[in-house]
Amino acid sequence: MSKFPELAAVALAVALAGPAAAQSFDLGRPATEAEVAAWDIDIRPDGMGLPEGSGDVWTGEELYVDLCASCHGDFGEARGRWPVLAGGDGTLTDDRPVKTIGSYWPYLSTVWDYVHRAMPFGQAQMLTDDEVYAITAYLLYLNYIVEDDFTLSHENFTEVRLPNEENFFLDDRAEAELAAFSDEVCMTDCKDAVEITARAAVVDVTPDDAAARERREAAAAGADAGVTETDAAEEVVEAAAEEPAVDPQLVADGEKAFAKCRACHQVGEGAKNRSGPHLNGVIGRLAGSIEGFRYSRAFQEAHDEGLTWTEETLAEFLAKPRTYIKGTKMSFAGFRQDEDIDAVIAYLSTFE
Amino acid sequence: MVHRTTRRGLLKGGLATGAALAAAGGARAEGDPAILELQEWNQFLGEGVDARPYGFPSEFEAHVKRRNVEWLTADPVSSVNFTPLHELDGIITPNGLCFERHHAGIAEIDPAEHRLMINGLVETELVFTMQDLLRFPRENRVYFLECAANSGMEWRGAQLNGCQFTHGMIHNVMYTGVPLRYLLETAGLKTNAKWLLPEGADASGMTRSVPIEKAMDDCLVAFKMNGEALRPEQGYPVRLVVPGWEGNMWVKWLRRIEVGDEPWHHREETSKYTDLLENGTARRFTWEMDAKSVITNPSPQAPILHDKGHTVLTGVAWSGRGTIPRVDVTLDGGKNWHQARMDGPSLSKSMHRFYYEFDWDGSPLLLQSRAHDSTGYVQPTKNELRAFRGENSIYHNNGIQTWYVDEKGIAENVEVS
């Protein structure tokens, strides 16, 4: 590196030499080998970055059912609006294309890289390299790209090609479209007739916007809109103020600690089941008792045996979920601090 | 233009004249109570300078906020919300209203624990602290950031009633940051360095491949927006700024930049952010944002609240390729067009503000705006775009937006022939 002693000298050099001249600054420090290794986890289609390791389809299935199926479905068909991972062959020209690893993704390395860096959702980078190989192998199997006796490893990785690789091409808007979109424009008498061909009101998927609704009503009635959403918000605040006393600091700490749960569990008004059941009124509730939620077999058994969530049972569960209920599909490994458990339970107790 | 008092104006303003007098009774005989009556803010003391150490908008502006569309995504931690464009004016988006798009929620990072690493095809692999970054020369630049999926729900036809939802995946702020090339040149690029992989420190480990030419041209490593620290939801303490290119590349919570000789083809540039065409093939690396505009007022969330007469139409326009010297506006669905009045700074790859003032005769309107950028590109209609791309592209929908305004002033998202 060339070094400049002062920024002023650098600025002068920029001014004299123009933007093309390389500028180097005596700032930062060399990264250690261990630091680069800890962060440099990316994988490329040519296999660059792949660690040594392997995993087979059957091991992958077990992991997938435990860690992935709650969002992506048992066969990659997805629940709710989580990404579909399998199927969709031949649908890319349909009205509703289904873009999956098998039908759309160009490279297998993308699967390995993404599962490794970001999955399971909310528990990123918890998988070992062998587990990532196994899950990737299972995803290939779900897409009919390999047979059930297949083992994926760093050695055979680049031999696997995804079916849609050839159907991507570089951005060609400049050649394909630009000429058509830079014509002289017409300013007067450009059309004889104009008809409305589509209306959003017919589709009716816009979220309710109280302020906008009131304004529309005001415009229609010829009167001014004076009410805003603050009124509704204040009612909620007032109602909350009447709640019985739980240590507010503990509840606030619990709300923070609950961040680890929020990816899968909702609480509060309008809470719905996501990849985990909603947790309103969980204290005092029979385990596995939310209708419409698809519990693991382990939870169904706990329900049948009459396990009820009290502060004590919940505390035990949250310390080591997979030990307390063997076979739960909840991927969370448990809170390490007892304080977090107490706080989360206090927080949950505020939702009826 | 003469401002004519009308019946609706009277009712709304609470003014009293002979006509209103008969209807409203004697109490209003002398005039507007907002003037005649002593107001509490005019009499009693307000809060002192110690009450609001960090200021917020008036309580009467509480409806001005980002909104999300619940059905759009599986979960709010991997989702998007929308900037309330219809409530804003000028060109700068306030920090608290800049739309958010996260793939694994908001990372809350202590800047003292944050590091930026440069590794790969460089002479020296380096680690910078935030303090190190503050010792490089800085630049201040205003740029728009638009999600490639902005207006993506509208490919199959008019869907959402409100420019917040149809066009609100955009914001425009002034960034303060270090030119990326200073960092790369400090590490020393090897001759085969052709691509970068910026990576985020969030739980999605966001990555995108960026060609070296763009990095050396105008990319910034930014730590301030509109003068103050980046908001956590915008990548605090440091994010990448990739002017004019799709928002997903502006990696937030930037912790690492790898230098390589090939692109990485990661999830957000293969499975997502590729543009599927009608024949089943897909464009990749569609980085530049095409010129686009939208009328923000009137619009479905912001109807015309006054009677016929003097009316202000306004909107925003932007291009990933330069400035917007001109916007055309039509009131009749494209039969006749008028050149709008541009106002405010005209900066490359920044939002521009336009106005068109006219006398509304109270009859229904079909409003559209059409942006021209400094390269000569003209914003196409939605049908012109569909002719090239079909309806399954999701991304890069910059087609002309139409609002139908009825005789009451109520606006709706429509498409026209």
Query: Contacts of residue B377 in chain A, CB cutoff 8 Å?
Result: 178, 181-182
Percent of chain B whose predicted confidence (pLDDT) is above 90: 91
Instruction: For chain A, say whether B2 makes contact (Cβ under 8 Å).
Output: no
Is the predicted pLDDT of residue B13 greater than 50, yes or no?
no
A206: nearest CB among B68, B162, B305: B162
CA distance A168 to chain B (A): 5
Query: Contacts of residue A122 in chain B, CB cutoff 8 Å?
Result: 77, 104, 203
Domain spanning A41-165, CATH architecture = Orthogonal Bundle (1.10)
A205: nearest CB among B117, B159, B388: B159
Give the residue from chain A lying closest to B70, CA to CA. A207
Instruction: For chain A, say whether B124 makes contact (Cβ under 8 Å).
Output: yes
CA distance A186 to chain B (A): 8
The pLDDT value given to residue A263? 66
Mutate to test the interface with A, among B102, B212, B305, B401 (most CBs of A within 10 A): B305
Query: Contacts of residue A274 in chain B, CB cutoff 8 Å?
Result: 74-75
Is the predicted pLDDT of residue B363 greater than 90, yes or no?
yes
Q: Within the 20-39 window of chain B, which residues sit less than 8 Å (CB to CB) from chain A?
A: none
Is the predicted pLDDT of residue B411 greater than 80, yes or no?
yes
The pLDDT value given to residue A22? 80
A28: nearest CB among B126, B274, B392: B126
CB contact under 8 A, A199 and B413: yes
Domain boundaries, given as residue ranges, for chain A: 1-32, 41-165, 248-348
SS3 A286: strand
The pLDDT value given to residue A331? 66
Q: What is the pLDDT of residues B128-156, one digit of tens each?
A: 999 999 999 999 999 999 999 999 999 99
CB contact under 8 A, B62 and A105: no
The pLDDT value given to residue A344? 86
The pLDDT value given to residue B6? 43
The pLDDT value given to residue A240? 38
The pLDDT value given to residue B317? 98
Instruction: For chain A, say whether B75 makes contact (Cβ under 8 Å).
Output: yes
A·B CB contacts under 8 A:
315
Is the predicted pLDDT of residue B77 greater than 80, yes or no?
yes
Q: What's the CA gap between A249 and A242, in Å, rounded?
A: 17
B292-414: CATH topology is Immunoglobulin-like (2.60.40)
Give the residue from chain A lying closest to B393, CA to CA. A97
Which residues partner with B90 through β-bridges? none
Which residues partner with B403 through β-bridges? B367, B413
CB contact under 8 A, A29 and B127: yes
Mean pLDDT for the stretch of residues B387-407: 97
CB contact under 8 A, A117 and B205: yes
Q: What's the CA gap between B348 and A172, in Å, rounded?
A: 23
Mean pLDDT for the stretch of residues B76-96: 96
Mean pLDDT for the stretch of residues B220-248: 98
Q: What is the pLDDT of residues B342-357, one digit of tens each?
A: 999 999 999 999 999 9
Is the predicted pLDDT of residue B250 greater than 50, yes or no?
yes
**Tokens 């159907």 appear where?**
A167
Instruction: For chain B, say whether A213 makes contact (Cβ under 8 Å).
Output: no
Q: Which CATH code is given to the segment(s) A248-348?
A: 1.10.760.10
Q: What's the CA gap between B275 and B397, in Å, rounded?
A: 10
Q: Which CATH code is given to the segment(s) B77-283?
A: 3.90.420.10
Instruction: For chain A, say whether B363 makes contact (Cβ under 8 Å).
Output: no
Query: Contacts of residue B382 in chain A, CB cutoff 8 Å?
Result: none
A81: nearest CB among B74, B187, B304: B74
**Using CB atoms within 10 A of its CB, is residue A200 exposed (0-12), middle (13-18) or buried (19+)?**
buried
Query: Contacts of residue A38 in chain B, CB cutoff 8 Å?
Result: none
CA distance B14 to chain A (A): 10
pTM of the shown model: 0.80
Q: What is the pLDDT of residues B218-227, one digit of tens each?
A: 999 999 999 9
The mean pLDDT of chain B is 94
DSSP-H helix ranges across chain A:
7-17, 33-39, 57-67, 69-72, 108-118, 129-142, 173-176, 200-203, 210-221, 230-241, 248-257, 259-262, 297-304, 311-319, 321-324, 338-348
Domain pair A41-165 / A248-348, same fold? yes
The pLDDT value given to residue B178? 98
Q: Within the 274-293 window of chain A, which residues sit less than 8 Å (CB to CB) from chain B?
A: 274-275
Parallel, antiparallel or unpaired: strands B254-260 and B195-200: antiparallel
Instruction: For chain A, say whether B58 makes contact (Cβ under 8 Å).
Output: no
Instruction: For chain A, say whether B401 makes contact (Cβ under 8 Å).
Output: no
Is the predicted pLDDT of residue B17 greater than 70, yes or no?
no
pLDDT tens digits, chain A, 352 residues: what are they? Answer: 444 444 444 444 444 444 457 889 999 999 999 999 999 999 999 999 999 999 999 999 999 999 999 999 999 999 989 999 999 999 999 999 999 999 999 999 999 999 999 999 999 999 999 999 999 999 999 999 999 999 999 999 999 999 999 999 999 999 999 999 987 899 999 999 999 999 998 888 899 888 888 888 888 886 443 333 333 333 333 333 344 457 778 888 888 888 778 767 888 887 887 778 889 888 888 888 888 787 877 888 888 888 888 888 888 888 888 778 877 777 677 787 788 888 888 888 888 8
Is the predicted pLDDT of residue B377 greater than 60, yes or no?
yes
Is the predicted pLDDT of residue B360 greater than 90, yes or no?
yes
CB contact under 8 A, A110 and B265: yes
**Beta carbons within 8 Å of A274's beta carbon, 6+ residues apart:** A80, A263, A264, A265, A266, B74, B75
The pLDDT value given to residue B248? 98
Q: Within the 330-359 window of chain B, which residues sit less than 8 Å (CB to CB) from chain A?
A: 332-338
Domain boundaries, given as residue ranges, for chain B: 7-42, 77-283, 292-414
Q: Within the 51-110 window of chain A, which residues sit less than 8 Å (CB to CB) from chain B?
A: 71, 80-83, 92-93, 95, 97, 99, 101, 104-107, 109-110
If phi > 0 it is left, if psi is from -120 to 50 it is alpha, else beta; for residue B157 that is left
Mean pLDDT for the stretch of residues B162-171: 98
ipTM of the complex: 0.91
CB contact under 8 A, B204 and A263: no
Q: What is the pLDDT of residues B29-42, one digit of tens each?
A: 799 999 999 999 99
Is the predicted pLDDT of residue B57 greater than 50, yes or no?
yes
